[in-house]
Structure 1
Amino acid sequence: MRTDLLYTLKSEDLTKEILQEKLTAHKEVKFVSLAAVDLIGHETDTKIPVSLFLKDLPTFLEGFAAQTDGSSVFLPKIATLNNAKVDMKADLSVHWFVEYNEGLVDEETGKPVGTLKVPCYLYHDGMAVDSRHILTKAEEVLTKDLEKALKEMKNLKEVFGFSSDEMEKVYLTSATELEFWVKSPSTHGDIEALSTSQELKEQYWSKTRGPVRSAMEETLLLMELYGVEPEMGHKEVGGVRAKLTDSGKFEGVLEQLEIDWKFSSPKQTADYELLVKNLVREVFMRYGLEVTFLAKPLEKIAGSGEHTHFSAGVALKNGTRVNLFHSQEGDFLSSLGYGALMGVLKNYEVINPFVTSSNEAFKRLKKGYEAPISIVSSLGYEPSIPSRNRTILIGLIRDEENPMATRFELRAPNPHTNTFLCMASMFMAMKDGVNYAKDKLPKDLLVELSKTPEEDYAYLKKGRAYRTEKDVFDDFSDEERERYFGLPPETVYENIKAF
């Protein structure tokens, strides 16, 4: 593992002087790629010689870095055939990464050729129209409303332990993970063997071996070099054991894996996901293994999810940070936490098209595979005893010893979910709920969240239940699930009708 390469340029390093210094010192970085994410989640890739980038650095940093005709990005009803000009503008608020081509060595330095990825916004007719910008604005709106709610809270000191004068800024945090299948190129799944292994949980958290182990470990080490802070890599529930041949090599590799990393700001979380996907593809390919991020690559076998986590906090002027969803009064959640959760549950039909946007993704959302099929949440039986119900859509994760760990886990996303738009839609729904709940007591919000379908409240809809501690798959019949939690969509068409 090479430690003499330039892997990351932090947001505070994105000045003309530092970029000039770093890129001049690392001559192995030969190209710059302008990476914008369109509305379908596609990330652009270009190859601009770094010499041209350095020559026109002020324009790249302060103006529009490049222009395209719109054919390379998905912006329906925006970039049209007769008005297709799209400009790209660099995002200086996140880290930039250098990706290396291990198959091409720079003759001058003896190092692999690197490409500096520059995250960009897309502008059309002077207006930002891409996924990154939408997330940026959604984050701004929610933090602004949370800050306003705190300043208007008469008992702020009693509830959270600080006064409005002590606040420096409100911030959001998020995190995600990556599940994927890996296989030998010529391997095809034996559904019976896979099903048996899954039922017996033979693969879950079992030992990785051979090229899978090497590729996993190299990926985790690379993530550390990029500053992503990996937490864990392990086998998931799907897969069968590979066979060792007479030549000492493994064949028939077919395994499901998961990689987790630490939380960050929303945009940085989405950028980390894109980086880790690319690392996984490149590293596993060097070990002769194919990777797929499809939500359901094998029928009747567990698919790949991408659970996404959300929280909010306030940074105080004395350096202390306080979790705004955590209750300091012995409740499951603060009033703001209840509001955020209720906003998501009430508005999930509108969020869902941004989370589950393909028929492939709907194949994963089936009863019994730990993928959510109903709009329902779980809190646990008692605030003092945190629990995790894996059959619900969005759950509360708490640690009594660590208040900063209080967060929500959305279980519906998959590796092809556009994480930028998923988070943006969640934040807008949370804003709606926070504005309803900000002046209410946690105990009253808990009663409303725990309502029966027949009960009528001011915010959550009559005819629906929104909380259960039961097994959604096994403890309800199909008719009961529909009566309590609504009829879930099964296709993209049914999903989009919510609009």
Structure 2
Amino acid sequence: MSKTLTAEDIKNSVENEDVRFLRLTFTDINGTLKSVEVPTSQLDKVLNNEIRFDGSSIDGFVRIEESDMVLYPDFSTWAVLPWGDEEGGKIGRLICSVHKTSGEPFEGDPRNNLKRVLKEMKDMGFTDFDIGFEAEFHLFKLGEDGNWTTENADHASYFDMTSDDEGARCRREIVETLEGMGFEVEAAHHEVGSSQHEIDFKFDDALTTADRVQTFKMVVRAIARKHGLFATFMAKPVQGEAGNGMHTNMSLFKDGTNVFYDKNGKYNLSKTALYFLNGILEHARAITAIGNPTVNSYKRLIPGYEAPVYISWATKNRSPLVRIPSAEEVTTRLEMRSADPTANPYLLLAAALKAGLQGIKEEKMPMEPVTSNVFEMSEDERNERGIKPLPSTLHNAIKAFKEDELIQDALGKHLTQSFIDSKELEWSQYTQSVSDWERNKYMNY
């Protein structure tokens, strides 16, 4: 769980660590980390929620005539970054929620929205929604101009022990940096694709884990630059190679007890877990819009690369949407395998939790688990078993989102409209673009 810190603790840390600047971060509708940086002379204002910024310049926030926003730092997120400014000065970081000038939480802030859905969970008698993210990424070489390329930093494969290439050295420094910032890194390894990596950190409550995945991405990018590499969390950066997923492991707790576990239940799952699972499955198409929010995301969700394509679940099989990993009581969980790391973690967890809680309310059992490879089933067999496909494009995912009132409610009116506007614009831009593939295919017609 997140540590408890006071304003005095932060003041002492600023003085003892010789921190010169304060970076106040928050997240926009697209999951992009934003920040306001102030000198430590403004520390009292920061700690008293007196730092304002122009919200009209942030995607999905507000119009110009209602632009003033206030940053409320979460003291538990205080960290001194392991890199400083050009003159060697240290930088302190606080993750913030965004509020209106009246002091009310701003409904367009994804972090506030997750807190709202977590309150709904607590009103139902549950105490924690624990999450473990497995976010994959690629490390490519930087070009001479300092921009990204798709030139591989290595040609290793899954779990290869590569100790002498730049990718492995970079990954080790990322792990050391994260641990220096208080992360408990459980595993770090090479993934299936060339230059593809995964670093897993210990599960925690939903808000803490969403905060940490944003910090994780910031650290990965910063350390990669030090090594002359470019880190990308793009879902499918290279055609014909494995894409980057962000498997989402979910457990629900009540007063320290994992309510998904039942030693006498089939698969050691409780009825609560199965109801929650059914909620995820029933709303999976709309959740896909949030968990796979880019045009490129759907080039990962294709057969042949272990990413799910169909709405189903299993205990051992890795082809369905949700898998139940072998686990002990406290670690019993549902692993949703569809999301990728371009997803806004706050919105993704709000949507998944809302769907799961609705499943618990409805008390419906899910379809039977799949024991064979879904990709090898005929269409008739899938139809007979009620196995439906996930959306195949961002356009279809947004259509599903617009038809699902529950998942819209998981985001609230403001974020729902901002999300639809942003994604419909992205799809429109994509449909009007002309690619090299099209020119190579059609130029001689």
TM-score by length of 1: 0.73
1:269 aligned partner, one-letter code: T
- Per-residue CA distance 1:316-364 (angstroms, 9 max, x = gap): xxxxx32110003243211111111111111222322211111111111
Distance 1:190 1:101, change over 3 A: closer
- Per-residue CA distance 1:155-212 (angstroms, 9 max, x = gap): xxxxxxxxxxxxxxx2221110221111222596699xx9xx8xxxx61111122322
SS state at 2:186 partner: strand
Shift of 1:421: 0.6
Q: 1:30·1:49 contact (CA, 8 Å) conserved in 2? A: yes
Q: 1:177·1:273 contact (CA, 8 Å) conserved in 2? A: no
Q: 1:178·1:306 contact (CA, 8 Å) conserved in 2? A: yes
Q: CA RMSD in A?
A: 2.3
Q: 1:70·1:86 contact (CA, 8 Å) conserved in 2? A: no
Q: Which residue in 1 is equivalent to 2:350?
A: 424
Distance 1:478 1:30, change over 3 A: farther
Shift of 1:68: 1.7
Q: Which residue in 1 is equivalent to 2:191?
A: 236
Q: Which residue in 2 is equivalent to 1:166?
A: none
Distance 1:482 1:68, change over 3 A: farther
Q: Which residue in 2 is equivalent to 1:135?
A: 114
User: Would you say how many aligned residue pairs link Structure 1 and Structure 2?
Assistant: 389
Shift of 1:311: 0.3
- Per-residue CA distance 1:261-303 (angstroms, 9 max, x = gap): 1101111111111112122112222122222111000112111
Q: 2:260·2:333 contact (CA, 8 Å) conserved in 1? A: yes
Distance in 1 of aligned mates of 2:105 and 2:209:
24
Q: 1:143·1:172 contact (CA, 8 Å) conserved in 2? A: no
TM-score by length of 2: 0.82
Q: Which residue in 2 is equivalent to 1:104?
A: 86
Q: 1:397·1:405 contact (CA, 8 Å) conserved in 2? A: no
Q: Between Structure 1 and Structure 2, which shows a larger proportion of helix residues? A: 2
Computing the radius of gyration from Cα coordinates, the structure with the larger value is: 1
Distance 1:280 1:79, change over 3 A: same
Counterpart of 1:121 (choices 72, 82, 97) is: 97
Q: Which residue in 1 is equivalent to 2:158?
A: 204
Q: 1:173·1:263 contact (CA, 8 Å) conserved in 2? A: yes
Q: 2:288·2:390 contact (CA, 8 Å) conserved in 1? A: no
1:406-485 maps to which residues of 2 (within 5 A)? 406-437=332-363, 448-450=365-367, 467-474=369-376, 476-478=377-379, 480-481=381-382, 484-485=386-387
SS state at 1:132 partner: helix
Q: 1:36·1:44 contact (CA, 8 Å) conserved in 2? A: yes
Distance in 1 of aligned mates of 2:85 and 2:95:
24
Distance in 2 of aligned mates of 1:289 and 1:74:
28
Shift of 1:138: 1.1
Q: Which residue in 1 is equivalent to 2:124?
A: 145
Q: 1:91·1:120 contact (CA, 8 Å) conserved in 2? A: yes
Q: Which residue in 2 is equivalent to 1:440?
A: none
- Per-residue CA distance 1:139-165 (angstroms, 9 max, x = gap): 121132144xxxxxxxxxxxxxxxxxx
Distance in 1 of aligned mates of 2:287 and 2:135:
21
Distance in 2 of aligned mates of 1:482 and 1:285:
48
Shift of 1:105: 4.1
Distance 1:415 1:42, change over 3 A: same
Q: Which residue in 1 is equivalent to 2:201?
A: 261
2:260 aligned partner, one-letter code: F
Q: Does 1:23 align with 2:14?
A: yes
Q: Which residue in 1 is equivalent to 2:394?
A: 492
SS state at 1:350 partner: helix
Q: Which runs of 4+ in 1 moved over 6 A?
A: none
Identical counterparts, % of pairs: 25
1:35 aligned partner, one-letter code: T
Q: 1:34·1:118 contact (CA, 8 Å) conserved in 2? A: yes
1:361 aligned partner, one-letter code: S
Q: Which residue in 2 is equivalent to 1:12?
A: 4
Distance in 2 of aligned mates of 1:37 and 1:177:
20
1:477 aligned partner, one-letter code: S
2:37 aligned partner, one-letter code: K
SS state at 1:99 partner: strand
1:497 aligned partner, one-letter code: K
Distance in 2 of aligned mates of 1:103 and 1:85:
28
Distance in 2 of aligned mates of 1:69 and 1:260:
33
Q: Which residue in 1 is equivalent to 2:258?
A: 323
1:327-342 maps to which residues of 2 (within 5 A)? 327-332=262-267, 333-342=269-278
Distance 1:61 1:117, change over 3 A: same
Q: 1:11·1:96 contact (CA, 8 Å) conserved in 2? A: no
Distance 1:81 1:411, change over 3 A: same
1:412 aligned partner, one-letter code: S
Distance 1:482 1:181, change over 3 A: farther
Q: 1:215·1:287 contact (CA, 8 Å) conserved in 2? A: yes
SS state at 1:497 partner: helix
Shift of 1:260: 0.7
Counterpart of 1:288 (choices 228, 231, 236) is: 228
Counterpart of 2:285 (choices 331, 349, 352) is: 349
Q: Which residue in 1 is equivalent to 2:433?
A: none
- Per-residue CA distance 1:471-491 (angstroms, 9 max, x = gap): 1112x1345446632243222
Distance in 1 of aligned mates of 2:222 and 2:235:
20
Q: Does 1:38 align with 2:23?
A: no
Q: 1:305·1:414 contact (CA, 8 Å) conserved in 2? A: yes
Q: Which residue in 2 is equivalent to 1:216?
A: 171
- Per-residue CA distance 1:427-473 (angstroms, 9 max, x = gap): 11111111122xxxxxxx6xx4235xxxxxxxxxxxxxxx3122111
1:121 aligned partner, one-letter code: S
Q: Does 1:63 align with 2:49?
A: yes
Q: 1:349·1:495 contact (CA, 8 Å) conserved in 2? A: yes
1:98 aligned partner, one-letter code: V
Q: 1:79·1:86 contact (CA, 8 Å) conserved in 2? A: no
Q: Does 1:171 align with 2:128?
A: yes
Give the unaligned 5+ runs of structure 1: 1-9, 107-112, 148-169, 240-254, 316-320, 381-387, 438-444, 452-466
Distance in 1 of aligned mates of 2:150 and 2:73:
43
SS state at 2:266 partner: coil
